[in-house]
Structure 1
Amino acid sequence: MGKNGIRSVAELAGVSIGTVSKILNPSSSANIRVSAETREKVLAAVKKLDYRPSYGAKLLRGESTRTIGFAISMPKDHNVAYLSSYTFRLLNGIGHEASMKGYQVLLLNGVDYRCFMNIKRVDALIMINFALSSNPEQEQMREMFELFNERHYPYVVINREPGEEKMPKIPLIRVDNASGMRQVADFIVRKGYSTVGFVGELTSNPQQHHLDRCRFLAEYLAGTPCRLLPGAVLNGSGGGIPDVPRVGRYSHDEGRVALRYLMEKKCVPRCLVCGDDDIAMGVLKAAIEAGIRVPEELAVIGFDDDQNTDYLNPALTTVHQPLEEFGRLAVDYVLAKMEEPEKLIELVIEPKLIERESA
């Protein structure tokens, strides 16, 4: 990189330092008011002097970085970095929309993102919610959200329930879990599956989403001929239910372990609903290994609609979340928030049951 600074560029082009700064800052509204002739002179001087703007100086001046942070935080009880297809689908939507709007995406890890926003390392922040039934970082997260709200930072959380964990008001884009499980329950009743089970995370601290989905399923099956078997509800661990270590956010092993456990207990239901597609894939694998015919002997239903579910044999019946659309909506919101500091959203997206061969 050349040793010449912005002053040298301005002198060579015969313009002010401010004009050079405007031309080299694509996010500046003043950029478009510079004449083509002046722009050409400045860019020629930049090329001749091999000048490159200092990113650190831009941060100190508080200028836009044209960057949106995407938080893929891993709680402390997760022992490896892992991006599920769920996260990739969100990232696809975020990345495409950000690119269309002239922004780039920076992946962030951790729990507390105040520093990234305070120094404007990113202009906005999109977070995925993976609330656990017991959140060890609750107080830290509460303080972070309170600061974000106080300073009107542009941020949004995907798939977080409103009022969760006594948090302040948070901008949300979320799936309607109740609607998704109502569709599943209606499907089960229509199919006439007499007994039903649920498999969530086999861990002492499972995701709240799985607990909620199981609760909604029980509510919608109540009073129907289809009975949710208490012994076939595996949502957590302990009491004889094995604990499966997390691998990232999800694990196929939970489905395999769950079905084997139910077989040992002679409590395999006619239909197994799973908290997510990874668990459902594990159930399908275990069923094949055990010689259980799907769906003739065991119906399996997932949640999320992983991009691979249609290519399984049998293809997986599941609840589709439009995660790419979640990503697009998240980018649109945080960019709008930059222009309207008081803007606050709660978007509830309707999922859709996708009927395939596994149920």
Structure 2
Amino acid sequence: MLKAGIKQVAKLSGVSPATVSRTLSNPEIVSAATREKVLKAIDECGYTPNRFGASLRTQKSGSIVVIIPDITNAFNAGIIRSIEDEAAKVGYSVLLGDTQRDPVKVRHYASMVRSGQVDGIILFSQHLPFDITPETTIDQLPPLVNSCEPLDLDGVCQVMVNNVAAAKEAVNHLISLGHKRIGAITGNMDTPSSNDRLTGYKQALAQAGIEFDANLVTNGNYLIESGKTATEQLLALSERPTALFCFSDNIAFGAMSALHDAGLKVPDDISVVGFDDTEYAAFMTPALTTMHQPLKEIGKNCMALLLAQIEKRPISQRCIELPIKLQVRRSTAQLQQ
């Protein structure tokens, strides 16, 4: 079987060989639609750029790529810092692929494994950046670890927390303080983590005998501005909530800003709980009660699992679930009757 070359990729993608070369060397000057066609063709035919030669099959690059949806998010930054620390210990460099949820960018960064530019991928997404079929197995994928969002493919190495249980703990804390009208501001609802946190919210209410009220749930997108906007909507209800469960610290920061603008005090008027325990949470006024995610341990375990795959060592536990706990601070208080 002949090795695929640029001409085969060009024919399969319907572009010129020169366009294929530009896509590989300077992807930023090629349109998103063209990049998508070329990267899909590369995946299908298994093309490896000639400039790296046959040595790519036997040598390692000494680099990995972390593919993330938003490099500015403090949650992602905390994990990345830990990954870089662990990588440096074994002489690896870390490339950051900030995709802004653009699937074309995701596939571009993932293709760096095939071209030999990196040895493996740490992925912050529930979507594999490769074309798969029901027959696809883990052995057909490059070294890859998924962090925080589960992938629906048996055998993929993953590092997770139990978002359902964590959300229940957060809401139960508010219930223990006497709150019954508890608003929820979600993250992106196309992610498993957000759906799991909403499930945990509903379960906590049900177990406490509190009827679920859909009017108290407002969708956000994990950004500060969405927390502010969603809180303004909840405050406009005829009977406002007495507490807010925010699906991220960023959302909680936006919520607290909206409450301040409305002349309401946290926690005297409304209690607020966040999720993640990013480095800013303890320095808010008041300090934010939040679900502590072990960001350092997430990064450490991601890097360990990826190195084991790169070095072809046996892996006894491919899915690691890390503990998460409530960090109680001053943004929550007993409901004042």
- Bin for the TM-score computed over the shorter chain: 0.7 to 0.9
1:91/1:139 Cα in 2 relative to 1: closer, same or farther (>3 Å)? closer
1:140/1:120 Cα in 2 relative to 1: closer, same or farther (>3 Å)? closer
Quote the Cα distance in structure 2 between the aligned partners of 1:188 and 1:349.
23
CA-to-aligned-CA distance 1:140-176 (integer Å, 9 cap, x gap): 645299868234632100012253xxx4542110111
Where do 1:221-260 residues align within 5 Å? 221-224=205-208, 226-235=210-219, 250-260=222-232
1:305/1:227 Cα in 2 relative to 1: closer, same or farther (>3 Å)? farther
Q: Which amino acid is the alignment partner of residue 167 of structure 2?
A: M
Quote the Cα distance in structure 1 between the aligned partners of 2:133 and 2:278.
31
Is 1:262 the counterpart of 2:262? The answer is no
8 A contact 2:155–2:318 mirrored in 1? no
Q: Which amino acid is the alignment partner of residue 355 of structure 1?
A: V
CA-to-aligned-CA distance 1:307-352 (integer Å, 9 cap, x gap): 1010000111100111121111111111112333663600011111
Aligned-partner SS, 2:72: coil
Is 1:187 the counterpart of 2:184? The answer is no
Aligned-partner SS, 2:132: helix
8 A contact 1:145–1:170 mirrored in 2? no
Q: Which amino acid is the alignment partner of residue 91 of structure 1?
A: I
Quote the Cα distance in structure 2 between the aligned partners of 1:180 and 1:348.
12
Is 1:196 the counterpart of 2:182? The answer is yes
Instruction: Report the equivalent of 1:91.
Output: 80
Is 1:347 the counterpart of 2:320? The answer is yes
- Pairwise CA distance, 1:229: 3.0
Match of 1:326 among 298, 305, 320: 298
Where do 1:1-359 residues align within 5 Å? 56=52, 60=56, 62-72=58-68, 74=69, 82-108=71-97, 109=99, 110-112=105-107, 113-129=109-125, 131=126, 141=130, 143=132, 149-151=138-140, 153-161=142-150, 163=152, 167-201=153-187, 206-224=190-208, 226-235=210-219, 250-340=222-312, 343=315, 345-359=318-332
Quote the Cα distance in structure 2 between the aligned partners of 1:184 and 1:230.
18
- Pairwise CA distance, 1:265: 2.5
Q: Which amino acid is the alignment partner of residue 230 of structure 2?
A: A
Q: TM-score, normalised by structure 2?
A: 0.73
Aligned-partner SS, 2:94: strand
- Pairwise CA distance, 1:56: 4.1
8 A contact 1:59–1:119 mirrored in 2? no
CA-to-aligned-CA distance 1:121-154 (integer Å, 9 cap, x gap): 111211112x4xxxxxx68645299868234632
Quote the Cα distance in structure 2 between the aligned partners of 1:122 and 1:311.
38
Q: What is the RMSD of the two structures over their aligned residues, measured on CA atoms?
A: 2.7
8 A contact 1:114–1:144 mirrored in 2? no
8 A contact 1:90–1:323 mirrored in 2? yes
- Larger Rg: 1 or 2? 1
1:230/1:121 Cα in 2 relative to 1: closer, same or farther (>3 Å)? same
8 A contact 1:319–1:351 mirrored in 2? yes
Q: Which moved more, 1:317-326 or 1:57-66?
A: 57-66
Quote the Cα distance in structure 2 between the aligned partners of 1:336 and 1:184.
35
8 A contact 1:194–1:225 mirrored in 2? no
Q: Which amino acid is the alignment partner of residue 111 of structure 1?
A: V
Instruction: Report the equivalent of 1:20.
Output: none
Quote the Cα distance in structure 2 between the aligned partners of 1:196 and 1:182.
12
- Pairwise CA distance, 1:84: 0.8
CA-to-aligned-CA distance 1:239-270 (integer Å, 9 cap, x gap): xxxxxxx6xxx321111111111222224211
1:82/1:332 Cα in 2 relative to 1: closer, same or farther (>3 Å)? closer
Quote the Cα distance in structure 1 between the aligned partners of 2:81 and 2:54.
28
Q: Which amino acid is the alignment partner of residue 185 of structure 1?
A: V
Aligned-partner SS, 1:231: helix
Q: Which moved more, 1:265-274 or 1:339-348?
A: 339-348
- Pairwise CA distance, 1:234: 1.1
In the alignment, structure 2 segments of 5+ residues that lack a partner are 1-50, 100-104, 333-337
CA-to-aligned-CA distance 1:165-212 (integer Å, 9 cap, x gap): xx45421101111221221133122211121110114x7x64332222
CA-to-aligned-CA distance 1:269-299 (integer Å, 9 cap, x gap): 1111011111111000000010111111101
8 A contact 1:189–1:226 mirrored in 2? no
8 A contact 1:322–1:351 mirrored in 2? yes
Quote the Cα distance in structure 2 between the aligned partners of 1:200 and 1:85.
17
Quote the Cα distance in structure 2 between the aligned partners of 1:142 and 1:218.
35
Quote the Cα distance in structure 1 between the aligned partners of 2:57 and 2:234.
61
8 A contact 1:195–1:228 mirrored in 2? no
Q: Which amino acid is the alignment partner of residue 153 of structure 1?
A: P
Q: TM-score, normalised by structure 1?
A: 0.69
1:333/1:139 Cα in 2 relative to 1: closer, same or farther (>3 Å)? closer
Q: Which amino acid is the alignment partner of residue 88 of structure 2?
A: S
